[in-house]
Amino acid sequence: MRRYYAARAAEYERIYDKPERQVDLRRLEEWLPALVSGRRVLEVACGTGYWTRFLAMRAEHVVATDVNPETLAVARAKGLASPPVELRQADAYSLPEELGTFDAGVACFWWSHVPSAERPRFFESLHRRLEPGARVMLVDNLYVSGSSTPVSRTDDASDTYQLRTLDSGETFEVLKNFPTEELLRAEAAGFATRVEFHPLDYYWLFTYELPG
């Protein structure tokens, strides 16, 4: 997965050009800034910074992290490495203490790439960097036939995969899960309050708060 996104950095944002998804994208672009207004935000797996720029519209401060220097370089080239945004290289599964603590956490199009067996480790890593009462926002894809890349296989853990080919011609098998609302709520039941699920036509937004 890390090698795939490093290789895809220069062409990553083309996925947001699909005509049928524009209405949904405009709604997400309105929702996310409002949800982080005035907050200190930790963004996990920020990639090329597409969503970072919307968080920065209303947030007090954004620390946007990604494991890949290649995608962070694209974000820097957009001018995102200046207040209120700070770009940092970090592993989502072991977010370092030096990042500080935050009252909001955001992960856009990351949950779907986390193996089911590793999701507890991801949430534990994220929550260690969040303060009591912090708000968490997850955004990801719904599977829509004809718009989504077909699922190529399902493994024994029920994780699903897609085959994706880059401009170079290189093909990668990429883990991509599409959860139900029930699954998301069940996963959050042990640590979340004020849980909300907002389905759109092509995407979903899942929000919750940590106990105060």
- Which contacts of 193-202 are long-range, i.e. CB under 8 A and separated by 24 or more positions? 198/31, 199/142, 200/24, 200/27, 200/28, 200/142, 201/20, 201/21, 201/23, 201/24, 201/142, 201/144, 202/20, 202/21, 202/24, 202/141, 202/142, 202/144, 202/147
Cβ 155 vs Cβ 177: under 8 Å: no
CATH code at 2-143+179-209: 3.40.50.150
Which pTM value belongs to this model? 0.96
Domain spans of the chain, in order of start: 2-143+179-209
pLDDT by position in tens, the chain (length 212)? 778 777 787 888 999 999 999 999 999 999 999 999 999 999 999 999 999 999 999 999 999 999 999 999 999 999 998 999 999 999 999 999 999 999 999 999 999 999 999 999 999 999 999 999 999 999 999 999 999 999 999 999 999 999 999 999 999 999 999 999 999 999 999 999 999 999 999 999 999 999 99
